[in-house]
Amino acid sequence: MTELEGRSAVVTGGARGIGAAVVAALAKEHISVVIGDLLEPEGTALADSLGAGALFRRLDVTDEAGWRAVLDDAEAEFGPLAVLINNAGIVDFGGIESESPAMFRHVVDVNLYGAWLGMHLAAPRLRAAGGGVIVNISSTAGLIGYAGVGGYVASKWGLRGLTKAAALELGPANVRVCSIHPGPIHTPMTEQMDESVAAAQPLARFGEPEEVAAMVRFLVTEATYSTGSEFVLDGGATAGQVVGLPGETR
């Protein structure tokens, strides 16, 4: 923890779900966190509940000026940047034929371009500070395909590849970059998913945001020899099972 003392972290999509659990986990490690999100009431309430080591800033991850402002505030309030968690993401349930071009591009913009933009702007700060950690929250949709969510799958595979490219580029600067690939997790994003989605998994249940947050904490504080790696939390779904999403026929 010594290398993170007096430094800052930014968590996107941090106001609820996995992001909020990650913020809480980092706060328990005494890592000061800026919560970046569009959900102002939820983000402000979370920051207030955590005290002086957390603050909320409104952030559209596709907006370069917004990113610069959040990173500036993080360093001004808490010290040089040490950790970036790219968690912000959206999903649209639409097939290749039915999903609109505008929605496909929106999903890719938020999930992939938004993460790239964060890394693009954070990397020089991490380099200048002597190193740091970037964790990108991908999905099992970045490991296998799912019907009916083409934009989401494309963005999460892209984020997986982007993680590896960034790890290769930034490793010499002591910046580690890893991806996490959750399966179905109890969050607002999965509320419309039937719990039976998990029935064929070896661990036949949805995961909890705190389980993903525990992996993030491990990557940030302990996995000091890991970079460019994929960490899967899916109840064993991708270990050999065929899984599907609601409404999908196989």
DSSP-assigned beta bridge partners for residue 178: 135
Predicted local confidence at residue 246, as pLDDT: 45
User: Containing H/E element for 216?
Assistant: helix 209-221
pTM: 0.94
SS3 percent helix, strand, coil of the chain, rounded to 5, is: 50, 20, 35
C-beta separation of 24 from 71 below 8 A: no
C-beta separation of 138 from 179 below 8 A: yes
Predicted local confidence at residue 197, as pLDDT: 85
Of 113, 146, 152, 225, the active-site residue reads 152
Q: Is 152 a catalytic residue?
A: yes
- The residue ranges of the chain whose pLDDT is under 70 are 1-2, 241-250
Residues 6+ apart with CB under 8 A from 28: 217
Predicted local confidence at residue 2, as pLDDT: 53
